[in-house]
């Protein structure tokens, strides 16, 4: 199973950008990189995903390294509501695409 | 659309009792899965299904059974509950990337909090 590695925790100041890294050195050519976040006492929610090119949506941006072995979720201006656990996972299109492993994620603290 | 609905939201069991956590989705998703989350920990995959009639084991399948007789429902059964199964359980669903050629985003339920005494 393709796995990802993330720092356990990160801190940010409110209204500053946040860069959350994820390493996935065993990524295969058809694996998409997905990011989810889990607010306290809630179920995880989808944030963004991409394959090769950088992606933007209303929540965040995803920067994917050229060799695709790492990616970075970018929150452009952190707010207190962005304090959550952020998970990076790989989801492929071929083979066994069902075994989606989340790991521990990165706990983001946002300081006012 | 209701999305992913989990019932019950809270349940207390005694050791050795059995119960079923229900999960239903109304988005016609092929893929469904169950995760457990222990306090302060990440999500661990229990079982998953890529379509009706197909199920497979995740990271921590022992003590749990699943079946997928319809596209909409994916119940999780605890045959003989143990205190180690005290956890919050999340059901998730999505389109199946393998079948549709897209990497579908997962939709999660609100969770079912289970306590085994």
Count of CB pairs separated by less than 8 Å, A with B: 71
Per cent of chain B over pLDDT 70 is 93
Lowest mean pLDDT among A95-104, B26-35, B107-116: A95-104
The tens digit of pLDDT for each residue in B71-111 reads 999 999 999 999 999 999 999 999 876 556 566 889 999 99
Phi, psi of A65, deg, nearest 5: -60, 155
Instruction: Determine the Cα–Cα distance for residues A5 and A24; give it in Å rounded to an integer.
Output: 7
SS3 B34: strand
Quick one: tokens of B5?
A: 């609905």
How many Å apart are CA B110 and CA B34, to the nearest integer?
12
User: How confident is the model at residue B23, as a pLDDT?
Assistant: 98
User: Which pLDDT score is estimated for A33?
Assistant: 93
First to last CA, chain A: 39
* pLDDT at residue B102, rounded to an integer: 63
Residues of A with a Cβ under 8 Å from any B Cβ are: 32, 34, 36, 42-46, 49, 51, 85, 87, 91-105
**Tokens coding A63:** 């920067």
Chain A contact present for B43, CB below 8 A: yes
How confident is the model at residue B99, as a pLDDT?
58
For residues A59-77, average pLDDT? 96
Confidence label for A99 from pLDDT (cuts 50, 70 and 90): confident
Residues of B in contact with A22 (CB under 8 A): none
Instruction: Using the Cα atoms of residue B95, residue A86, residue B76 and residue A41 in order, give the sign of their dihedral.
Output: negative
Residue B58's Cβ-side half-sphere holds a number of Cα atoms within 13 Å equal to: 26
Inform me whether the C-beta atom of residue B38 falls under 8 Å from chain A C-beta atoms: no
In tens, the pLDDT along A15-51 reads 999 999 999 999 988 888 999 999 998 999 999 999 9
């Amino acid at each position: 199973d393709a796995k990802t590695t993330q720092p356990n925790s990160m801190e940010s100041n409110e209204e500053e950008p946040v860069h959350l890294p994820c390493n996935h050195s065993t990524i295969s050519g058809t694996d998409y990189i997905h990011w989810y976040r889990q607010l306290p006492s809630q179920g995880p929610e989808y944030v963004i995903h991409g394959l090769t090119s950088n992606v933007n949506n209303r929540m965040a941006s995803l920067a994917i390294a050229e060799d695709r072995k790492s990616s970075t979720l970018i929150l452009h201006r952190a707010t207190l509501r962005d304090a959550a656990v952020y998970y990076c996972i790989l989801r492929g299109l071929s083979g066994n695409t069902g075994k989606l492993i989340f790991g521990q994620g990165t706990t983001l603290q946002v300081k006012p | 659309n209701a999305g992913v609905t989990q019932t019950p939201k809270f349940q207390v069991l005694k050791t050795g009792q059995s119960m079923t956590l229900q999960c239903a989705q109304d988005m016609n998703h092929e893929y469904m899965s169950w995760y457990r989350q222990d306090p302060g920990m990440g999500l661990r995959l229990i079982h998953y299904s890529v379509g009706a009639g197909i199920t497979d084991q995740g990271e921590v399948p022992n003590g749990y059974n699943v079946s997928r007789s319809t596209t909409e429902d994916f119940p999780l059964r605890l045959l003989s509950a143990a205190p180690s199964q005290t956890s919050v359980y999340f059901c998730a669903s999505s389109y199946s990337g393998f079948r549709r050629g897209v990497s579908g985003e997962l939709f999660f339920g609100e969770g079912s909090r289970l306590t085994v005494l």
